[in-house]
Every structure is written in structure tokens, then in C-alpha cells.
Structure 1
């Protein structure tokens, strides 16, 4: 199904793709070599530039600089360039879905933003330079903020988009805010590709307990993004 959808998209036959939750281990066991759906679609569609996963919950978006990699590999996989690319993708998603210029905050990587280098230097050497460069490029960026408090600033600072350094920084917060209507968007691809952020829930298969709200939210978001893309074309 993924291959058919990707090929139809590559042929210009689709405006968007919505797919159900997938289990990465099951994909590997079935013979897929890509890390996840994001990399599967990027490979199949011939995308060579930066791509990232983004999440949406209501009016709030997050964009991840890294995603499905071991936690110990995160620090080695963030760079000024990848932070900027994730921010650009997230800002475009905000504009496409709401028509507004994104108010953005960037989360740090280390506890307490590294305490001036005592707990890590990524903030000093990578993340802060990326924030300064984004401001120079004209983006409305606030921060750098500690990851454990950045979501508290959403209301007071009217934030639309939070840039996170790794998977769970944003996912924990968004799923706590609204587990059943959080969507995942594959950013950096030539068309909107969206899914529900919930897992595959193998534990309730056949029990008639699955909640379709997440997939409904994903469909509605894909629809809005597809309309915006058509208007911009």
C-alpha cells in the first residue's frame, strides 16, 4: 500500500497521502530497509534534501531535528543546518495549515541548557548559532529554552511551533495535551503525507475498541495542507 501510494504521488495523481499507524519492527520483518515511513517515502519519491517528522495538535506544531534514532546518537546528529532545515519545514507547515506567520521557540538538548557547558556544549556550539542564523533569515524565533519548560510558554508567548532536538521532547508534551487528535506529518516531501501519532495498538486487535479520532484528525489536516499546496502552485 505504501509503495502504491508513493508511486501514485510520484506520478502526480495525488494531492496528499494519509496512512494508518505502522510498526517499524513489522516493516523491517516484512523486508523494508528504510528506518521508518519518512525515509521510505523520501527514498521512493527521490527526495535527497533534508526531511523530518513534524507533529500537530490543534494550533500547535512541533518539528524534530532528529527522530527515529537511538538516544545516544542524538547529539552527533544535530547541526546548525539541520536545525534550520527543521525550522523552515515547520514554519511552512504552520503557514499552510493556518495562513499565519509562525511564532517559533527552539528547545535545548541538555538539562538546564547545559549550564554554560557544565552539562554539555551543544547549546553553545550548535543550537544557539542556529537560532541566531534563523533570526538573521527573518524567522520569528524565541529562545533558546530548556526542553522541560518550553511548552509552558505556548500560551503566554503565543507560540505556533516548537523545534525539538529528538523524538520524545515534543511527543510527550503533545500526546499529553491531546492523545487522540495528534497528527504526524512527514516534512520536506513534495506533498502532504500525514498519519495519526498513536501506535499500532496490537493489544486491542479484534476487540472493537480502536478510536478513529486520530486518523480523522490526520485526514482533516492532510486536506487543509493539500488545499494550501494547490493554491500556492
Structure 2
């Protein structure tokens, strides 16, 4: 998937590309995709391409031969190593954004990751405190969520007024940076029918609705709690710019049905844009060379655009 993206000439023109991976991984990707990349290998990187118009390949140590289409310690170690290098480069100001192909969280944990997902792993490496969140984007519609990669049985206890407010504030700020002056944000309920007046749960009455009321008093255009089974119908119609869901699948299933092939995941709250496609690691078709890359292309376009905007703002501030 990543090799196919890097082989597109237009992407070389859109940004200076730094590839962070072991040689073995790049070679395997080239074999599967049936292409050869034009790369210049380097041992270190300080923010300038080795050759203009070519991909700079920062070669990473080999972590071993990972079996194709399976979870493994070797694959997880290669991914964690690349994320660690990328975050270090971003902290040093050598790169302006990070794009990665879908990762397998079980492989990351086999390799030693203790956080719930790669977002929290990068958050720790960046030294970012406070709320971070995955945004999922399909076309013009954005989502954030109050809880993410946690067991469903733990979700209700994690739905607090502060957590709801954080999820709304972070996506409101991101949409404003993306050019929407007053984002229209729908907040989902937790329970079926948004609790149905308290007969199917009271989180909407006791936690979510009061949080929304405080957000509105602060000037945000947040509404709800909306019934989880209908809010995305209104969002698809264009009634909202974003939906804040309470847990992972509540938003992800709807977003993937609306645009699985072009969905983007953006990690909100980090100092540089970090993006990937929303499609997942697709072990069932690994090694066949048939994976579509339009989601990863959309993620690349968004990451490059946001990185340019950050640089433009920085230049205006100096």
C-alpha cells in the first residue's frame, strides 16, 4: 500500500518524502506492488532531501523476517521503531507531518507497546499531556470519540462530563483550523435511543446533556445527545460538520459504511499532523497486491495540506 503511494509522481511533487523503514520491508513492498521506487538511502536525516525529486530512505535496523498477513513480534517491532524515529524527527523539527499505513495493534503489543494504541504511544513520545483523540474523516464529515481502544465493558465508566467536553473541544478546534468558522457538532448518546428518557440508561440525562449545555454556554455549536442509530443519517445529509461518538464502533461502523475506501484517520492533539487510512491492516489480502490506496492517498493529501498550513502560520508569526 505504502509503496504504491510513494510510486505516484504527483506525491513526490506535493512534499519532500522521507521513507522510514528497514530495507527488507521496502523490498517486500516493491515485490508485492510490482514497482521499484526511486530512493536515496541515508543513515541520518536533518530535514533536507538527499536529492530533490527523489524519496529519501532513512534505513532502519532489520527486526527480522515477519510472516505476511499475520500478527508477529517482528512486524510490531518494525512499526514501533519507525514510529519512534518519526516522532523523534518531528520533535527535532526535521519533519512537518507523519503518514503511516494501517498498523496492527496486537503486533505492536507483542513488540512491547504498553499503551492502548499508537496514538497514545506517540503522545507519550511527544510528551503531550491532556486529551488526544482519533478523528475519522470521510469526505466533509469528521468524527471524534470520547473513548477509543478500550473494552466495551469499560466504556460507561469512562463517559464523564469532562471527557465529553474534551472530545467536543478538540474537534471544534481542528475544524476551525481546517477553515470552518463555526463547526456544527452533534454529540451522540451512549445508550439505545439516547436513553429514551432514562428508561434505557441515565448517562444522557446525568452526564452528556449537562456537558453539552456547558459547551453551548461557552459558545460552541454543540447539540444532542442524539440517538446513536440516527445521528449519522442527519450527518450524511449535511446537518452537521462533525459527530462526537461515545465509543469506537459507534462512529467507526457508520463512517466506514459511508466511505471505507476513502476514509482517513487523523490523530488530534499532537504537535504535527499524523494521519493514516481508516481501512485497517487487511491481513486477508496481504501479499496479493490488490489493496486500494485511495484512503491512504486522502490521508497523505490531508497531512501535506495541514503541514503546509502550519508552516505558513509559523512564517507569518516570525
**TM-score calculated relative to the size of structure 1:** 0.95
CA distance in 2, matches of 1:132, 1:54: 23
Counterpart selection for 1:85 from 156, 166, 170? 166
Where 1:178 maps in the other structure, the secondary structure is: helix
Number of positions where the alignment pairs a residue of Structure 1 with one of Structure 2 = 233
Q: In the alignment, does 2:210 pair up with 1:118?
A: no
* Cα shift at 1:157: 5.6
Where 1:56 maps in the other structure, the secondary structure is: strand
> Are the structure 2 counterparts of residues 101 and 214 from structure 1 closer, same or farther at C-alpha, using a change threshold of 3 Å?
same
* Cα shift at 1:155: 5.2
Cα deviation code 1:184-217 (max 9, x no counterpart): 1111111111111111111212111111111101
> Are the structure 2 counterparts of residues 75 and 232 from structure 1 closer, same or farther at C-alpha, using a change threshold of 3 Å?
farther
**Contact residue 183 and residue 217 of structure 1 kept, 8 A:** yes
Q: In the alignment, does 2:91 pair up with 1:18?
A: no
Alignment of 1:208-227 (within 5 A): 208-227=289-308
- Relative to structure 2, which stretch is displaced further, 137-146 or 40-49? 137-146
**Contact residue 114 and residue 120 of structure 1 kept, 8 A:** yes
**Contact residue 97 and residue 228 of structure 1 kept, 8 A:** no
Cα deviation code 1:53-98 (max 9, x no counterpart): 1111111000011000001111111111111111111112222234
* Cα shift at 1:115: 2.0
**Structure 2: 5+ residue stretches without partners:** 1-81
> Are the structure 2 counterparts of residues 197 and 99 from structure 1 closer, same or farther at C-alpha, using a change threshold of 3 Å?
same
Where 2:178 maps in the other structure, the secondary structure is: helix
Cα deviation code 1:86-112 (max 9, x no counterpart): 111111222223443211110000011
Alignment of 1:55-66 (within 5 A): 55-66=136-147
Aligned residue for 2:277? 196
**Contact residue 182 and residue 214 of structure 1 kept, 8 A:** yes
Aligned residue for 2:211? 130
Where 1:211 maps in the other structure, the secondary structure is: coil
Aligned residue for 2:51? none
Q: Which has the higher contact order (CA 8 A, sep 6+)?
A: 1
Aligned residue for 2:259? 178
Tell me the C-alpha RMSD between the 2 structures: 1.4
* Cα shift at 1:47: 1.0
Where 1:154 maps in the other structure, the secondary structure is: helix
CA distance in 2, matches of 1:24, 1:177: 24
**Contact residue 141 and residue 236 of structure 2 kept, 8 A:** no
Cα deviation code 1:163-199 (max 9, x no counterpart): 0000011111111111011111111111111111111
